[in-house]
Structure 1
Amino acid sequence: MRCFLGLDLSPQTKLAIEQWRDKALPVTRSQIPACNFHITSVFLGDVSMPVLDAICSEVDHLSLPKAEILLNEMGYWSKPRVTFLTSTSPSSELTHIATKLSHIAKRLSVRVEDRRYIPHVTIQRKASHAPPAPIIAPDFTCQFDAIHLFESCSTEKGVRYPILKTWPLV
């Protein structure tokens, strides 16, 4: 199964980001549907059920803090060709969550990227170039009280991210 651990945005925030994107940026064919907006904490990739069960068992015993982020900056990464929203000052709680989950994955021999964690919400994929600066600055406060195990499912209508398991943040 292709999976990741992450944070789900509220439906209201997903719709607000979609509406902002549609007003502030040129419309492209590579727009991510609002239902897919999320923040990945750690990408697990293709993992077997025994490894996934072991990860879930480890997360069951964690006590992770509630977190929030102010999405107030737009960015673009040329190598994966994605446009995203992030924060000029990401919370230490989000980094703490990602670090703890990454350590669990590594301990269970899951290959995890070794690079600085930047919490973000991807809003466009396969963007051939960076979009122009938005005509309206992003300004979305997201609060999180749970971490989720998502599956990445390819369908005829595109990728979907059903939630397989949820853990509360305290």
Structure 2
Amino acid sequence: MAQRLFFALPVARTSQLALLKLQSQLAQAGIHGRMIPATNFHLTLAFLGSVTASQKDALLARLADLTVPDLHLELDTLHYWAKPGIVALGARRTPIALGQLATQLQQDAYQHGLHPTRHAFRPHITLFRGASALLPDLAHVPEQPIVMTSHSVELMVSVNGPAGVEYHCLKRWQR
């Protein structure tokens, strides 16, 4: 049976708390939609789509020695994507090492027949789904960047659970 897989940077507990605070501020300011639970916060590097067991085994073999750089990112700008109704916190600047890692993982997926990436890599963490708009007076939010530091990359699986979609780590590569 195939699984929906993606590569992501995990979000440390301190950053999760800052993101939860920002979600609350946005909800109080009038953003309506489904809040993403802190346990589902992540920064997607490469979406792989529906992956069979044999494809997953080959992927893990190819990337057994994946090198993970120290990553430091300042999340400092809100984004709204109308079609999926997503409100996300993104970064104005993508660190070179982060961009290179995302490109490496996306190219591997494409070269091995997994989900092709259609958009340029834009680091972001989704805060709301099903939102109808991003209000113009929220341009100043967040007041301070949320700093995200990571020393690991995770291969994640998306599972439909009783409370909605849940993400679980299948494999972790650490610095």
TM-score, length-normalised on structure 2?
0.89
Task: Answer yes or no: is 1:41 the counterpart of 2:45.
Answer: yes
Counterpart of 1:72 in structure 2 is 76
Aligned mate of 2:142, from 137, 146, 149: 137
Does residue 166 of structure 2 align to residue 160 of structure 1?
yes
- Count of aligned pairs: 169
Alignment RMSD:
1.6
User: How do 1:61-140 residues align onto structure 2 when only pairs under 5 Å count?
Assistant: 61-134=65-138, 136-138=141-143, 139-140=145-146
Q: Within 1, Cα distance between the matches of 2:79 and 2:73? A: 16
Tell me, yes or no, if the aligned pair for 1:78 and 1:129 is still in contact at 8 Å: yes
- Distance in 1 (CA, whole Å) between partners of 2:32 and 2:105 is 34
The residue identity in structure 2 corresponding to 1:90 is T
Preserved contact between residue 85 and residue 120 of structure 1 (Cα < 8 Å): yes
Percent identity between the two aligned chains: 27
In 2, Cα distance between equivalents of 1:153 and 1:33: 14
The whole-number CA distance in structure 1 between the counterparts of 2:119 and 2:93 is: 18
Q: Distance in 2 between matches of 1:48 and 1:10?
A: 30
For residues 70-114 of structure 1, the C-alpha deviation after alignment (integer angstroms, 9 at most, x for no partner) is 001111011221000011112111111110111111121112223
Contact persistence 2:31–2:135 (CA under 8 A): no
Question: What does the per-residue CA deviation read over 1:109-150, in whole Å, with 9 as the maximum and x for residues that have no partner?
Answer: 112223210010000001122244436425210011000001
The 2-side partners of 1:69 and 1:93 are apart by 10
For residue 51 of structure 1, what is the aligned residue in structure 2? 55
Q: 1:18 aligns with which of 17, 20, 36?
A: 20
Q: Offset at 1:4?
A: 0.4
Relative to structure 1, is the Cα distance of residues 133 and 36 closer, same or farther in structure 2, using a 3 angstrom cutoff?
farther
Unaligned runs of 5+ in 2: none
Alpha-carbon contact 1:83-1:123 (below 8 Å) kept:
yes
Give 3-state SS (helix, strand or coil) of 1:162's partner.
strand
Higher strand share: 2
Of 38-47 and 51-60, more deviation after overlay is shown by 51-60
Cα distance in 1 between the residues matched to 2:40 and 2:88 = 13
Normalized against structure 1, the TM-score is what? Answer: 0.92
